[in-house]
């Protein structure tokens, strides 16, 4: 299996135990947690149990995000609920280092994960769920050509209330067409 996926300014490395401490810090940060649906607050012990459970799960790929220029760990991402018969997976991403926000690293992570999902895993569709008030994700979805599939009303319990969320996706044929144009 591939251990590192390269972008232009970032690389993705399969998550390792030593990455969990920073991951927990980010998951417990209220600014970051605001748009996430992870168990909150979380601990190293709970995160290590999660890691032990998912590390060998063939239906997911979890990565840590690093900057190429200085090997700084800035976030985490992955493809989960990989369904090989249908050829689809859900993408997730969190850029935790706030001083890197707004520099295009999130968009680049999407690009790297789409390439990996479509070319290496043979997926046909990659999708994402996101809370309706998550403007950052909404802007990225429009920028990278994902299609809004719909509004899932009162779909998730998040931060003390039942919330709406969107589902958006991209198909391999649309990704391939977009990448052919951009070359």
- Strand partners of residue 167: 129, 150
- For all residues of the chain together, what is the average pLDDT? 93
Q: Give me the percent of the chain exceeding a pLDDT of 90.
A: 80
Phi, psi (rounded to 5 degrees) for 113: -70, -35
pLDDT-based confidence at residue 39 (cuts at 50, 70, 90)? low
Residues 110-137 have a mean pLDDT of: 95
pLDDT for the residue 88: 98
d(CA 120, CA 17): 24
Quick one: pLDDT at residue 63?
97
Structural domain of 104? 4-182
Q: What is the pLDDT of residue 31?
A: 87
Predicted local confidence at residue 35, as pLDDT: 81
Q: What is the pLDDT of residue 181?
A: 67
The pairing of strands 125-131 and 88-95 is: parallel
Q: What is the pLDDT of residues 159-182, one digit of tens each?
A: 888 999 999 999 999 999 988 866
Residue 1 confidence (pLDDT) above 50: no
Alpha-carbon gap, residue 181 to 183, rounded angstroms: 6
Total domains in the fold of the chain? 1
Kindly state the average pLDDT of the residues 100-124.
96
What percent of the chain is helix, strand and coil (3-state, nearest 5)? 35, 35, 30
Q: 132-163, pLDDT tens digit by residue?
A: 999 889 999 989 999 999 999 999 988 888 99
Per-residue pLDDT of 8-29, as tens digits, reads: 999 999 999 999 999 999 999 9
* CATH, residue 39: 3.40.630.30
């Amino acid at each position: 299996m591939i251990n590192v996926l390269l972008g232009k300014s970032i690389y993705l490395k399969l998550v390792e135990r030593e990455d969990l401490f920073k991951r927990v810090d980010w998951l417990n940060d209220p600014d970051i947690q605001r748009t996430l649906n992870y168990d909150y607050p979380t601990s190293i012990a709970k995160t290590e149990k999660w890691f032990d459970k998912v590390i060998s799960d063939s239906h997911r790929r979890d990565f840590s995000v690093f900057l190429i220029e200085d090997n700084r760990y800035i976030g985490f991402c992955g493809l989960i609920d990989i369904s090989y018969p249908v050829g689809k997976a859900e993408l997730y991403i969190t850029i935790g280092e706030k001083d890197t926000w707004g520099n295009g690293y999130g968009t680049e992570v999407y690009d790297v994960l789409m390439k990996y999902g479509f070319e290496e895993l043979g997926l046909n569709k990659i999708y994402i769920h996101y809370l309706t008030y998550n403007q950052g994700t909404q802007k990225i979805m429009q920028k990278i050509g994902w299609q809004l599939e719909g509004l899932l009303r009162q779909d998730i319990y998040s931060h003390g209330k039942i919330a709406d969320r969107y589902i958006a996706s991209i198909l391999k044929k649309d990704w391939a067409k977009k990448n052919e144009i951009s070359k």
